[in-house]
């Protein structure tokens, strides 16, 4: 078999990478050793940036939203003794209501990962450029100079070879490809040991007056977090345990049923235990994202604590970044060195998200640690007193309030900015400066994500983001930017042009939106990050020089579209 890109792993990151490549005319084969998708619900938060990317590849953000939990059920995080017991406090879970639509067209959605993957796969199977091979394991990958040869095997065939130009390893947190490449992980592991208990039960009547997506429960014998994927059916209890005193094998059906009923605080005759498995909390980032023609993405590149819902979403950002760059090289308008910027841009994002997830986890640990102690009897006494009168523990309310940024992270989702050779004149990021993860201020600085604004095109209201094609650069010009049209008409490299007032009616004044004169323009990359700012129309020679610099090409190669 032969293809342009081999993707190892058919999770959301692998599937999204294939969709993004297909939309840019690049063929791929996805292999996954599993015959079917995992049934455990796993991740649930699909954030605004991920939804913007989904919409761009044809996976409807509205469909994702309607398939997942409704915002009125999933809009809260609650802290309680048990699900039905004493309620200690609550916080809003992200900005899921329409009032956030001035900043993003798509508020965060809550959808179980298998359901999200099903929507991605449905779109994937409509793509002629993508071949999905389930039940097929990648045994090895070997570079061959101008490509990679992978050895794969399946239950139906003996080992066979796949020849490709590049490999995207989206093969999970324990990535065999990462291990084979000798790429180490930076950061701590073994932070906490947890048992994931996936169960089915209709708990809707029990939470009618306290809806939520996350319930942090303090019952000493069943402490942990309940995740409500679907109040009427699908739940997960994350329960911490000490592997030195409890074996994972000890969590049999009866034990798990007992833990769930204690956590809920009620007998559940119809309870069904679906999946049980241990997992260990880590906060690690791969030391390298690239090894020649092989790239790590998603959990293969970073392993976060789940506190923050950042793992899946960071992985989707990885897929978007590497896909447009591979496509640019394969389509002949970028040089190989552009691919180095994948690590330069995405690894710092993963580091920030790892640190934030770790900080979130630490605050949760402190909250539980304030109540629990080494003496089980004293812990029970404190817990019982707290349940009778929360005022006996005045530290609890401020300890809950300090969790608020954990569940309000719009700036983390949309406010990051790239600094690399694939961005011109980007200002360095002050890594020592504290980040307000909640307060997102739209920016048109070089390296930033192009901000959303509502506009009209042919009398239809839509987001500016929806006008940006993913298979080329775009010049977004001001109302006096007509001169850019003449320049673009004779320019051989693929560039789209959108002029304010001509191609669309902006909802915001151009100079207020960009800080540029009316004859200026923003150069937008295929991933909707701002590559450069122009205060006035430039010459064809200058534009050619700028693009060649951004794309790691010589100007001659850029203009003739030759492959690096």
The DSSP string of 383-429 is HHHHHH-GGG-TTHHHHHHTTGGGG--HHHHH--B--STTSSSPPPP
Token representation of residue 523: 């150069």
CATH 3.40.30.120 for domain 409-564, yes or no, is: yes
DSSP one-letter code for 191: S
pLDDT of residue 563: 37
> Which candidate, 412, 410, 424, 416, places its Cα nearest to that of 449?
416
Residue 102 Cα to chain centre, angstroms: 21
Contact 260, 197 (CB under 8 A): yes
Distance CA 107, CA 45 (A): 11
Query: Distance from first CA to last CA of the chain, Å, rounded?
Result: 24
Phi then psi dihedrals of residue 46, to 5 deg: -110, 105
pLDDT of residue 564: 35
Domain ranges of the chain: 5-67+111-185+284-350, 69-107+192-281+370-408, 409-564
pLDDT of residue 325: 98
Phi then psi dihedrals of residue 363, to 5 deg: -70, -35
Write the CATH number of the domain with boundaries 5-67+111-185+284-350. 3.50.50.60
Cross-strand bridge partners of residue 477: 499, 521
Q: What is the pLDDT of residues 55-79, one digit of tens each?
A: 999 999 999 999 999 999 999 999 9
Give the mean model confidence (pLDDT) for residues 345-352. Answer: 98
pLDDT of residue 394: 87
Distance CA 59, CA 194 (A): 33
pLDDT of residue 558: 60
Token representation of residue 316: 């989707």
Cross-strand bridge partners of residue 32: 134
In terms of DSSP bridges, do strands 234-240 and 192-200 run parallel, antiparallel, or are they unpaired?
A: antiparallel
Does 50 score more than 90 pLDDT? Answer: yes
Q: Quickly state the pLDDT bin for 526 (edges 50, 70, 90).
A: very high
CATH entry, 69-107+192-281+370-408, from 3.40.50.261, 2.60.120.10, 3.40.50.300, 3.30.9.10: 3.30.9.10
Q: What is the pLDDT of residues 211-264, one digit of tens each?
A: 999 999 999 999 999 999 999 999 999 999 999 888 999 999 999 999 999 999
Phi then psi dihedrals of residue 40, to 5 deg: -65, 135
Q: Quick one: CA dihedral 192, 197, 202, 205, positive or negative?
A: negative
Mean pLDDT score of the chain: 94
pLDDT of residue 559: 58
CB atoms within 10 A of CB 488: 16
pLDDT of residue 562: 40
For residue 105, what are the CA distances in angstroms to 50, 102, 361, 466? 12, 7, 29, 10
**139-148, 226-235, 243-252, 430-439: range with lowest mean pLDDT:** 430-439
pLDDT of residue 155: 80
Q: Quick one: CA dihedral 29, 30, 32, 35, positive or negative?
A: negative
CB atoms within 10 A of CB 531: 25
DSSP one-letter code for 448: B
Distance CA 142, CA 365 (A): 43
Give percent of the chain with pLDDT exceeding 70. 98
Q: Quickly state the pLDDT bin for 561 (edges 50, 70, 90).
A: low
Contact 121, 130 (CB under 8 A): no
Phi then psi dihedrals of residue 296, to 5 deg: -90, 145
Give the mean model confidence (pLDDT) for residues 511-525. Answer: 96
Contact 50, 64 (CB under 8 A): no
Token representation of residue 492: 């051989």
Neighbouring residues of 431: CB distance < 8 A, sequence distance ≥ 6: none
The residue to which tokens 């048109």 are assigned: 444
Token representation of residue 471: 């298979």
pLDDT of residue 554: 62
pLDDT of residue 556: 60
Cross-strand bridge partners of residue 123: none
Task: Determine the angle formed by the axes of helices 113-124 and 12-23, rounding to 10 degrees.
Answer: 30
More confident of the two residues 556 and 519: 519
Annotate 529-563 with three-state secondary structure: EEEEEECCCCCHHHHHHHHHHHCCCCHHHHHHCCC
Does 137 score more than 60 pLDDT? Answer: yes
Say whether 439 sits in a helix, a strand or coil. coil
The residue to which tokens 């080992």 are assigned: 159
């Amino acid at each position: 078999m032969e293809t342009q890109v081999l993707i190892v792993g058919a999770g959301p990151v692998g599937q999204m990478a294939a969709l993004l490549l297909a939309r840019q005319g690049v063929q791929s084969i996805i292999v996954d050793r599993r015959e079917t998708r995992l049934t455990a619900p796993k991740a649930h938060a699909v954030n605004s940036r991920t939804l913007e990317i989904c919409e761009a590849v044809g996976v409807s953000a509205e469909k994702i939203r309607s398939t997942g939990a409704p915002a009125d059920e999933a809009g809260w995080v609650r802290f309680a003794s048990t699900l039905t017991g004493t309620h200690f406090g609550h916080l809003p879970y992200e900005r899921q209501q329409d009032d956030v639509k001035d900043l993003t067209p798509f508020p965060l959605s809550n959808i179980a990962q298998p359901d999200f993957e099903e929507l991605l796969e449905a779109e994937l199977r409509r793509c002629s450029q993508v071949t999905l091979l389930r039940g097929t394991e990648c045994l090895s990958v070997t570079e061959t100079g101008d490509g990679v040869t992978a050895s794969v095997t399946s239950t139906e065939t003996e080992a066979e070879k796949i020849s490709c130009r590049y490999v995207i390893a989206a093969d999970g947190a324990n990535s065999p490809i990462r291990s084979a490449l000798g790429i180490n992980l930076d950061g701590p592991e073994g932070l906490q040991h947890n048992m994931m208990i996936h169960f089915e039960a209709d708990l809707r009547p029990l939470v009618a007056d306290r809806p939520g997506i996350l319930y942090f429960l303090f019952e000493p014998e069943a402490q942990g977090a309940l995740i409500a994927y679907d109040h009427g059916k699908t739940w997960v209890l994350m329960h911490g345990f000490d592997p030195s005193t409890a074996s994972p094998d000890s969590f049999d059906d009866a034990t798990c049923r007992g833990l769930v009923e204690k956590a809920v605080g009620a007998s559940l005759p119809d309870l069904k235990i679906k999946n049980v498995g241990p997992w260990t909390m880590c906060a690690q980032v791969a030391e390298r994202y690239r090894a020649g023609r092989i790239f790590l993405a998603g959990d293969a590149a970073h392993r976060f604590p789940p506190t923050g819902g950042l793992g899946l979403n960071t992985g989707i950002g990885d897929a978007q970044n590497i896909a447009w760059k591979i496509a640019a090289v394969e389509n002949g308008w970028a040089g190989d060195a552009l691919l180095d910027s994948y690590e330069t841009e995405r690894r710092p994002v993963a580091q920030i998200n790892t640190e934030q997830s770790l900080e979130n986890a630490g605050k949760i640990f402190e909250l539980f640690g304030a109540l629990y102690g080494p003496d089980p009897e004293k812990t029970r006494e404190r817990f019982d007193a707290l349940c009778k009168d929360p005022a006996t523990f005045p530290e609890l309310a401020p300890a809950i309030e300090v969790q608020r940024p954990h569940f309000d992270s719009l700036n983390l989702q949309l406010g990051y900015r790239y600094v690399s050779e694939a961005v011109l004149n980007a200002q360095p990021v002050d890594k020592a400066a504290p980040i307000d993860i909640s307060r997102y201020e739209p920016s048109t600085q070089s390296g930033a994500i192009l901000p959303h604004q509502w506009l009209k095109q042919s009398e239809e209201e839509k987001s500016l983001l929806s006008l940006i094609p993913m298979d080329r650069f775009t010049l977004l010009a001001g109302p006096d930017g007509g001169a850019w049209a003449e320049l673009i008409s004779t320019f051989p490299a693929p560039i789209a042009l959108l002029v304010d007032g001509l191609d669309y009616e902006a909802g915001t004044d151009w100079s207020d939106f960009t800080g540029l004169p009316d004859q200026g323009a923003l150069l937008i990359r295929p991933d909707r990050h701002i590559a450069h700012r122009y205060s006035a129309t430039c010459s064809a020679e200058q534009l050619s020089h700028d693009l060649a610099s951004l794309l790691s090409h010589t100007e001659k190669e850029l203009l003739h579209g030759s492959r690096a």
